[in-house]
Amino acid sequence: MTTIRLTNTRTRRKELFEPIDPGNVRMYVCGPTVYDRAHLGNARPVVVFDVLFRLLRHVYGADHVTYVRNVTDVDDKINARAAESGRDIRAITEETLRWYHEDMDALGALRPTHEPRATEWIGAMIAMIGTLIDRGHAYEAAGHVLFRVRSYRDYGALSGRSVDDMIAGARVEVAPFKEDPLDFVLWKPSDPSLPGWESPWGRGRPGWHIECSAMSRALLGDSFDIHGGGLDLQFPHHENEIAQSRCAHPEGGFARLWMHNEMLLVDGRKMSKSLGNFFTVRDLLDRGVPGEVIRFVLLSTHYGRPMDWTDAKAREAQEILFRWHEIARQAPEGPPHPEMVDLLADDLNTAGAIALLHRLAGEGDGAALRGSAALLGLLGEEMGRWAEPKADGDLLARLAQTLTQERVRARQTRDFSTLDRARQALTEAGIEVRMTADAVTLHPGPGTDPARLRELAAEIAP
RNA sequence: GGCGGGUUGGCGGAGAGGUUACGCAGCGGAUUGCAAAUCCGUGUAGACCGGUUCGAUUCCGGUACCCGCCUCCA
């Protein structure tokens, strides 16, 4: 059995991964709030944890891994979007979730086992909030229910902060009804214009953090193996989840291993609308950057390091993938190379894994290349459609033959002008012209222009 | 202010206390009518200052600079 080692954010150490139940390895990853298109930063955890999902399935068996990723479809950003657009909330969340699926599918991410929507688990949240009140960890004030942070001794353990430190540097707006500035909302009242559910505390809606505690418990139990998300969620979101879950169900351990991916930068800076470097996954796809290329770039840096997106990286990735597809296409998919599994099992060393793919490609081992790349979600048939030759094979064969003959003639007459003109034109149409000792062969590149090629064929080899 | 992370060759980017990462680009060569492609060869890089060690880019401490979180955020 492969030994998997993963960095646990809580201990900041690489730890041996031992599932609670190898027959059902359980992972929870924080998913999207569905109010707008996913930006590139949203894509990083999706792709990173997709690789982990693939690895776990490979090691423990596809039927022995449960992956839950929530959909936050009740949130004040959504309400704001509805208010400003006049659209129905449900219409917004449905549409945004559909977009999310389209975009993440394009990146080759497998769908999680479960994608619970917050609005379908309000009952579980109300029940958990009730338990927290009963146990003295939460209180009702001014129509709100708040979590009493001071009641949980280990609050801050995940992110390495103490409650007193946080108070000292707190920039939180302190609502007058809070017992303590750090207390956070579990439930808040909704006026008639806002979505709301009946509860023991009146008509209202849940705070942001409680959904993850309630849904992870419902689908994975009081104790499960891995909880993941972006590093920015470490505090306060994950800290609050831990506090809620541990206090409501102290008999459980909640998540054993915490994993956080580092942030994504664009051209060395945080992606933001004001810097003008903000874009969505869909923007890139529409610009013609294949999803597979985006995925490759995201995996070329270890998940624990900041990842800088640049167009230069995308171009380089596209050329590499194109070459790999040429090799992989001619081979059946083999099993992954053992080193590939070991590399990923070592805290998801995706950069090292890509280096191995370079080696396999260099050796011309198409079967191992395909099988190994599959663990990274690369070189799949669907994913690689963009790299399929766009040129008509018969047409190319005819052109190649004509050029071969022309070359024989040119060598005799020492007049290469016709041949060179044809080569020039083909190169401009995105065809690579290779002249070996006795033949001319043509290889369509990623930028092949099929229409232009047909014109040239009519001219050169009618 | 509090907490955390980073600094590797022209660029990107890994692992490992002592032996080539790898990719891209560059350079030299083979090949070619010329190119392209391919093949071969080629780079002692590790912010700075100390310490531990026979030996550190790799461990420890400090300095500088950069970044993130602490507020919605993946």
Q: Are A159 and A166 in contact (CB under 8 A)?
A: no
- CA at A235, C1' at B70: how many angstroms apart? 8
In the structure, how far is the CA atom of residue A299 from the C1' atom of nucleotide B60, in angstroms?
A: 32
- Provide the β-strand partners of residue A67: A27
- Enumerate the nucleotides of strand B whose atoms come under 7 Å of any protein CB: 1-6, 11-16, 21-24, 31-39, 67-74
> Measuring from the CA of residue A38 to each C1', which nucleotide is nearest?
B74
A153 class by beta-carbon count within 10 Å (0-12 exposed, 13-18 middle, 19+ buried): exposed
- The SS3 assignment for A225 reads strand
Is A14 known as a binding-site position?
Answer: no
Residue that is written with structure tokens 């004040």 in the block: A76
Across all residues in chain A, what is the average pLDDT? Answer: 91
Residue type at A211 in one-letter notation:
E
Q: What is the DSSP string of A40-92?
A: HHHHHHHHHHHHHHHHHHHHH-GGGEEEEE-BB---HHHHHHHHHH---HHHH
Domains of chain A (ranges plus CATH)? 5-261 (3.40.50.620), 278-387 (no CATH), 393-460 (no CATH)
C-alpha span between A5 and A159 (Å, rounded): 21
Q: Tell me the pLDDT tens digit for each residue of A103-150.
A: 999 999 999 999 999 999 999 999 999 999 999 999 999 889 999 999
- The answer on whether A316 is annotated among ligand-binding residues is no
SS3 A36: coil
What number is the ipTM of this complex? 0.92
pLDDT, one tens digit per residue, over A69-79 is: 999 999 999 99
Q: Which candidate, A454, A419, A458, places its Cα nearest to that of A435?
A: A419
Length of chain A equals 462
C1' (B72) to CA (A414) span, angstroms: 71
Model confidence over A43-88: pLDDT tens digits?
A: 999 999 999 999 999 999 999 999 999 999 999 999 999 988 889 9
pLDDT at A173 over 70: no
DSSP state of A238: I
Model pTM?
Answer: 0.94
